[in-house]
Structure 1
Amino acid sequence: MAYNNYEILSKDTVVAIWKNNKLKVINNDLLPLYLKRIHNPDMWLETRAVDSHRANSRLLKKAIRLEYKDDLSTVLHVNGATITDTYWVRPIGSKLTYSDVKFQKDSFSTLALKGLYRSFNYVSKLKDTRTPELTNTGSFEKGWKLIDKKWWLYKKANHNEQFSELFAYELGSALGMNMAYYEKGDGCVRTLDFTDNASVNFEPAMSFMGDNEDYTDTIEALKRICPAAIADYVKMIFLDAVIANPDRHTNNFGLLRDTNTGTIIGLAPIFDHNMSVIARGYPGNPKATDLLISLFNDLMKKYPEYTTHIPSVTEQTVINILDKINMRVKRQVIIDLVMGRYGFIERTKKK
């Protein structure tokens, strides 16, 4: 059930109060970026909810016995807390502290990732139902596991999805990009929490862009709020173009902020490529009219000063990555795919 009136906090600092459907800002420096754009905390909280279309999320809610399963009620069950930032809420007058709501256990991770009945039956008997899975967003089945005091996000993936995610990580790393760390798992990939247990706050681009993915609009927004992030943003969408990643959206990239001052640090490490390369089958031969290539080249024509951020890709780099990953794939097809797509961008760069 939703709170009628509540405080929004960052760690133990009250940053705003939502009372009688009016937002009173207490500390604008620490206010979530979403609330600087849209002054409705209920809407902000709903964006933090686990995707209700995921089958395993329905099992989670059933095992926890949530009385109300709408997005707002789901999030409020854990006070709106997430793994990747320090924001949370509490009813006005509550004595709860950040240590009370910060996640310490991963009891529901296996159910969230695999949906096994034995996991469902096990967690249904737990008294402590505070779990980060209720605020683990995204459309793929996934789960947070706590290993040696570090949070790892495990995401379900088949062979081609595993390869594609790992290939993107290795290629981006080889090109000097700031990549979130990935490893292969058993029927999944896993990535280390790049906020290091909310040592910094991750603000998805949705917070300042809504669902607007337009490259030019994003560049202009970054000029206003964090010019230092532009170079990494250009590299990210360049990588997307080269590896045929159509699934870049405003919830899978964003900015990092200092948790103590609210200062925007820069673009978050690049992540989420499990729909790229061969994840949905082997793409056909690349063409200059390919949408991602065209969009990127159009952006570079508009901002030629940013072409300096485009890294060089060599065939040997691709070969080395294929050797390192060592998974069964059509190697030459992937080499031709990457180098062909890069070639169209490279020729544009040289004009």
Structure 2
Amino acid sequence: MQKNELVMKLDINEKYGRVRKIIQIENSERLPLSVIYKDENDSLEESVEHWMRYRNVPKTRDGLGAFLKGFQGDPIQELSLKSLGLNLSDQYWFKPEGRQLNWESINFFQNDFTGKPLEMTFESEERRPDYSSNGDLSKYWTIKNGERVLLKAGKGPLYQEAINEVIASKLLAKAEIPHVKYSMKMIDNTPWSECATFVNESTEYIPAYEILNVVKTQENEGPYNHFMRCIETLKIPVTKKEIDTMLQFDYLINNRDRHFGNFGFIRNVDTLKFKGLAPLFDNGNSLWFDKYITQINPYKQPALPFAQKQDKQLKKTDHQMDWLRKLDDDFIQETIMTEMGKSPYIDKKRSRKIADTVIILKKKLEEYMTHSKGIYRKIADHEHRR
């Protein structure tokens, strides 16, 4: 189901989460995009199963290892189906045959649920959005003043990811780049990030990975140009500048985790019309979060999703960086030092080294922008002389 629209009838093995058979497609337009544009080597059943598994809690989620040992079948798939596959990212769900249910009575946007860490309630029969919420870090949804809020932890010993989310949020706000606002709270003396959902009962998040098979990759095209062609084919109202700004900001903060699930698009669920690029979120795996202080440097840093290194990925972007001019060195340094100073696990020497390195990356971005202007000026002068 998508809200109250019947999308397809299927036979699922609830214990293992396997799709035995697609019985009937009732509304092909409302199929998940990764099913409509499935890998040509996959059957329809396999494509639906891949989509289901991507939405669910991964077996690598922190805190679940001990619980999963000794289980027969697939407890994650089983619990997701018991929660009807509902989450707070889209409006897809599974309606058991013969059950008189409607979306208004069971969705998590309009109905309450218990907000607790998943590992504390994993054996519960209660429906909750966390069973269909992917990602490796410990996290859970809760309700705060009527708003659906996601809390997410980091990994020890530094637990820096939660702090990074706040820093990135403040830098994005200063640069006037659409983003999800993050704050930090301490739970059991450990930093957790907190943010509200960026969709509602009328919109949904479409991860970028879902459009990768919209068109076939051309010879020597490269993943960046292919992705932009997929956007153009679906007529998604997203500009090259928006994608480039995201990649340039990732360069600034050394975000090494911008995979095709960590950015995407907002779509109207009722009309199926794309609204645009989703606000930037999930910036925690940045700022050398898992590196020793001696490993913090601006050179040959890893990147995703269009190149393996940040420098190579930056070269795929245009040179327009209006957003960068809104960030001065003092603001960057003060933001990083202040926010990291709130953590009992990060000392001043580390935070200062990170701030100084981000400022170096900012200067490299400015050089990239200035160098391009020189090239364009030479081209213009040459054309004028001709």
TM-score by length of 1: 0.80
Q: 1:105 to 1:61 in 2, by over 3 A?
A: farther
Residues 80, 58 of structure 1: alpha-carbon distance in 2 compared, 3 angstrom cutoff: farther
Percent identity reads: 20
Please tell me whether residue 155 in structure 1 is matched to residue 152 in structure 2: yes
- Identify unmatched segments of 5+ residues in structure 1: 1-8
SS at match of 1:47: helix
CA distance in 1 between counterparts of 2:50 and 2:88 reads 19
Runs of 4+ more than 4 Å apart = 58-62, 288-291
Letter in 2 for 1:189: S
| 1:218-297 alignment, distance < 5 Å | 218-225=227-234, 226-281=236-291, 282=293, 283-287=295-299, 292-297=309-314
**In structure 1, what is the Cα distance between the partners aligned to 2:72 and 2:98?**
24
1 CA distance for matches of 2:50 and 2:153? 28
Match of 1:189 in 2: 193
SS in 1 for 2:94: strand
Q: Distance in 2 between matches of 1:215 and 1:326?
A: 34
- 1:143 CA drift (Å): 0.8
Does the CA-based 8 Å contact 2:85-2:132 persist in structure 1?
A: yes
Larger Rg: 2
Change (3 A) 1:258 1:271: same
Contact 2:175 2:323 in 1 (8 A): no
Which aligned pairs between 1:51-90 and structure 2 lie closer than 5 A? 51-57=58-64, 68-90=73-95
| Counterpart residue identity of residue 11, structure 1 | K
Q: Structure 1 stretch 311-320 or stretch 75-84: which is displaced more? A: 311-320
Which runs of structure 2 are paired with 1:1-351 in the superposition (5 Å)?
9-18=1-10, 21-22=21-22, 24-38=24-38, 39=44, 40-57=47-64, 68-103=73-108, 104-107=111-114, 109-110=116-117, 112=118, 115=119, 119=120, 128-157=125-154, 158-186=158-186, 187=190, 188-196=192-200, 198-209=201-212, 214-225=223-234, 226-281=236-291, 282=293, 283-287=295-299, 292-300=309-317, 304=318, 307=320, 311-312=324-325, 313-322=327-336, 325=339, 327=341, 329-330=348-349, 331-350=351-370, 351=372
CA contact (8 A) 2:329 2:359 kept: yes
CA 288–274 in structure 1, closer or farther in 2 if over 3 Å, else same: closer
CA distance in 1, matches of 2:250, 2:363: 14
TM-score (norm 2): 0.74
Question: Could you say if the C-alpha distance between residues 185 and 93 of structure 1 is closer, same or farther in structure 2, counting changes exceeding 3 Å?
Answer: same
The offset of 1:58, in angstroms, is: 5.4
- SS of residue paired to 2:93: strand
72 and 105 in structure 1: CA distance in 2 versus 1, 3 angstrom threshold: same
**Counterpart Cα distance in 2 of 1:136 and 1:29:** 24
User: Aligned partner of 1:208: which letter?
Assistant: I
Aligned partners of 1:229 and 1:57: how far apart in 2? 40
Moved more, 174-183 or 27-36: 27-36
Give the number of the structure with larger relative contact order, counting CA–CA contacts within 8 Å between residues 6 or more apart: 1
Please report how far the alpha carbon of residue 92 of structure 1 lies from its aligned counterpart in structure 2 after TM superposition.
Answer: 4.3
Letter in 2 for 1:286: P
Whole-angstrom CA distance in 2 between matches of 1:159 and 1:22: 44
CA contact (8 A) 2:86 2:93 kept: yes
Q: State how many pairs are aligned.
A: 325
Q: Deviations over 1:20-51 (max 9, x none)?
A: 73475433443322222124323221211111
Q: Is the 8 A contact 1:144 1:154 kept in 2?
A: yes
